[in-house]
């Protein structure tokens, strides 16, 4: 996962969390879009991925990655959060989550498969 021109963070999509959704996202990579902030807890970008809710949750920990089916958004959690809408858990950030806090609305976020 990359904030273009600012930071790269390892993001592990975990198939066991939500097999159908993670499979759909993996087949759609690379994905990119403009960053949006939801309060101080969620950084997200909208995608064209279309997948319904799977193993829905509303509570997420700092570093979690989730998919919001209603907007096709991939969400990165900057803090522990209880969110009003249910989301599909899809993975975890391995790198420095703090560097996500430097992202501004409008920055380009890119999720791609690292083949190295």
User: How many domains does the structure of the chain reveal?
Assistant: 1
What is the model's pLDDT at position 12?
92
Q: What is the DSSP letter of 97?
A: G
Q: pTM, whole model, 2 decimals?
A: 0.92
What is the model's pLDDT at position 115?
65
Share of the chain above pLDDT 90, in %: 71
62 in a structural domain? yes
54 in a structural domain? yes
Per-residue pLDDT, averaged over 10-33, amounts to: 93
88 in a structural domain? yes
Residue pair 78/100 in contact (Cβ under 8 Å)? The answer is: yes
Name the nearest CA neighbour of 99 among 35, 47, 52, 53: 35
116 in a structural domain? no
Token pair of 102, please? 């430097």
What is the model's pLDDT at position 57?
94
What is the model's pLDDT at position 26?
93
95 in a structural domain? yes
Residue 27 CA to residue 93 CA, distance in Å, equals: 19
Please give the residue that has the higher pLDDT: either 96 or 33: 33
Q: With 60 as the cut, is the pLDDT of residue 5 above it? A: yes
**Beta-carbon contacts of residue 107 (< 8 Å; ≥ 6 apart):** 3, 4, 5, 6, 34, 35
Q: What is the CATH number of the domain that holds 98?
A: 2.40.100.20
* Residues 31-44 pLDDT 10s: 999 999 998 899 99
Residue pair 6/102 in contact (Cβ under 8 Å)? The answer is: yes
Q: With 80 as the cut, is the pLDDT of residue 94 above it? A: yes
Name the nearest CA neighbour of 66 among 93, 40, 105: 93
Instruction: Please report, for residues 30, 35, 41, 94, the alpha-carbon distance to residue 15 in angstroms, rounded to integers and kept in the order given.
Output: 17, 24, 24, 16
Structural domain boundaries, residue 85 = 2-111
């Amino acid at each position: 996962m990359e904030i273009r021109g600012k930071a790269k963070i390892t993001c592990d999509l975990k198939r066991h969390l939500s097999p159908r959704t993670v499979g759909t996202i993996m087949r759609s990579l690379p994905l990119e879009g403009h960053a949006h902030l939801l309060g101080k807890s969620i950084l997200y970008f909208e995608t064209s991925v279309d997948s319904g809710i799977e193993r829905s949750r509303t509570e997420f920990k700092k570093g979690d990655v989730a998919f919001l089916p209603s907007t096709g958004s991939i969400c990165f959690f900057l803090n522990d959060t209880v969110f009003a809408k249910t989301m599909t858990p899809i993975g975890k950030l391995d790198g420095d989550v703090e560097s996500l806090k430097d992202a501004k609305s409008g920055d380009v976020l890119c999720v791609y498969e690292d083949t190295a």
